[in-house]
């Protein structure tokens, strides 16, 4: 098969790879219908995560089941399935509590920018749709496998409630999906922090009521101006940098909550400051599997369309251009078609 391999920062290649095989009775093999480049893939691409040796890339996927292991009964060959970037057996104590991304048998997907993918823990990870969805739905279903599920978790972790005011820090795909989530959960006011006109437009389309272009202390001051000097009820942090988490914490009102889903890079939080702020903080890898059935339904019924975050479509063989375009902010998110 063919797939993306990163060799060094800025060096992603499209190569011939060994076909995946069933290694465990709980595995499945899928043929990808579409895959994509994630904002978190840019960390190693930019050299902010180390690449000690060449390895495949990608953790977002939807596709058709080709083969299943002997213990997999939840899906069967020929079905169209959506999965999560974190696999889970969906039976351990953590899974039963709704934290499938902390499954005791968790494996993170890392090989999905390819023609075929082995899915560990397939029994608990994959959710089949009724029949094969129309092609128009594929981008949104792909978004559900990570960025929409992660944006949804950010909103839940921040405790967005009907009538509340929410701030979204970050205008990448996760942040934009966080706007969708905040609107679906009933936020009356949604303040999107963005400096880019195309992303501001999409945030508005998804439900943002206000746009803040300032960052850092100026961004916090602007949020305070919009909230009578108090701050927001809920803040979704969707970046993972020190500036973003500080901006999120300072934008929340006393008694408010921050949901942080940006993978942290050199982020340190002052415990004394957090203690006296009365701001709640929850985050981590999103338990996407918990939300898959509901989010798939929201997509297929036409209620949400997170696939609009894909503003660049390329053949899989041009995956390197997808990375480059996202790195240069010429694209929000690159969709790849095998």
Q: Please give the pLDDT value at position 293.
A: 98
Signed CA dihedral, 41, 42, 43, 44: sign only:
positive
| Residue 163 CA to its chain's centroid (Å) | 25
Is residue 197 domain-shared with residue 216, that is, in the same domain? yes
Share of the chain above pLDDT 90, in %: 99
Is residue 247 domain-shared with residue 291, that is, in the same domain? no
- Residue range 97-149, pLDDT digits in tens: 999 999 999 999 999 999 999 999 999 999 999 999 999 999 999 999 999 99
Is residue 159 domain-shared with residue 85, that is, in the same domain? no
Which stretch of 208-212, 264-268, 327-331 has the lowest confidence by average pLDDT? 264-268
Q: Please give the pLDDT value at position 324.
A: 98
Q: Please give the pLDDT value at position 287.
A: 98
Q: Please give the pLDDT value at position 247.
A: 96
| Whether 241 contacts 169, CB under 8 Å | no
Is residue 138 domain-shared with residue 265, that is, in the same domain? no
Mean pLDDT of 252-272: 95
Q: Please give the pLDDT value at position 113.
A: 98
Burial degree of 301 (CB within 10 A; 0-12, 13-18, 19+): exposed
- Residue range 222-236, pLDDT digits in tens: 999 999 999 999 999
Q: Domain limits at 160?
A: 150-283
Q: How many domains does the chain divide into?
A: 2
CATH number at residue 93: 3.90.180.10
Q: Please give the pLDDT value at position 60.
A: 98
- Residue range 174-200, pLDDT digits in tens: 999 999 999 999 999 999 999 999 999
- Residue range 83-99, pLDDT digits in tens: 999 999 999 999 999 99
Q: Please give the pLDDT value at position 80.
A: 98
Q: Please give the pLDDT value at position 118.
A: 98
Averaged pLDDT score across all residues of the chain = 97
Is residue 186 domain-shared with residue 250, that is, in the same domain? yes
- Residue range 55-67, pLDDT digits in tens: 999 999 999 999 9
pLDDT confidence of 299, banded at 50, 70, 90? very high
Domain boundary among 238, 265, 283: 283
Looking from the CA of 224 toward its CB, the CA atoms found within 13 Å total: 15
pTM over 0.75: yes
CATH number at residue 216: 3.40.50.720
- Residue range 307-324, pLDDT digits in tens: 999 999 999 999 999 999
pLDDT confidence of 296, banded at 50, 70, 90? very high
Name every residue whose Cβ is closer than 8 Å to that of residue 232 and which is 6 or more positions away in sequence: 165, 166, 167, 191, 223, 251, 252, 253, 256
């Amino acid at each position: 098969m063919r797939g993306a391999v990163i060799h060094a920062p800025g060096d992603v290649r499209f190569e011939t790879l060994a076909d995946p095989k069933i290694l465990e009775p709980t595995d499945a093999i899928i043929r990808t219908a579409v895959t994509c480049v994630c904002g978190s893939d840019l960390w190693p691409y930019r050299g902010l995560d180390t690449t000690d040796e060449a390895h495949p890339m990608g953790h977002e996927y939807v596709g058709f089941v080709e083969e299943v292991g002997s213990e997999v009964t939840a899906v069967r060959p020929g079905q169209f399935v959506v999965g999560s970037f974190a696999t889970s057996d969906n039976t351990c104590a953590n899974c039963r509590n709704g934290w499938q991304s902390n499954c005791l048998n968790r494996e993170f997907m890392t090989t999905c920018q390819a023609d075929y993918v082995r899915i560990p823990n397939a029994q608990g990870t994959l959710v089949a749709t009724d029949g094969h969805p129309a092609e128009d739905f594929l981008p949104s279903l792909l978004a559900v496998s990570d960025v929409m599920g992660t944006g949804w978790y950010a909103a839940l972790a921040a405790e967005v409630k009907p009538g509340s005011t929410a701030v979204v820090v970050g205008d990448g795909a996760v942040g934009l999906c966080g706007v969708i989530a905040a609107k679906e959960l009933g936020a009356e006011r949604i303040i999107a922090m963005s400096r880019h006109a195309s992303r501001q437009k999409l945030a508005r389309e998804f439900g943002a009521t206000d746009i803040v272009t300032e960052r850092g202390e100026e961004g916090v001051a602007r949020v305070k101006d919009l909230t009578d000097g108090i701050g927001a009820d809920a803040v979704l942090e969707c970046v993972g940098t020190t500036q973003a988490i500080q901006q999120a914490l300072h934008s929340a009102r006393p008694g408010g909550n921050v949901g942080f889903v940006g993978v942290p890079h050199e982020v340190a939080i002052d415990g004394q400051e957090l203690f006296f702020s009365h701001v709640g903080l929850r985050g981590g890898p999103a338990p996407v599997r918990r939300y898959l059935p509901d989010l798939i339904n929201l997509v297929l019924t036409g209620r949400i369309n997170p696939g609009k975050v894909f503003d660049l479509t390329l053949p899989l063989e041009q995956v390197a251009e997808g990375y480059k375009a996202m790195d240069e902010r010429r694209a929000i998110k690159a969709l790849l078609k095998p």
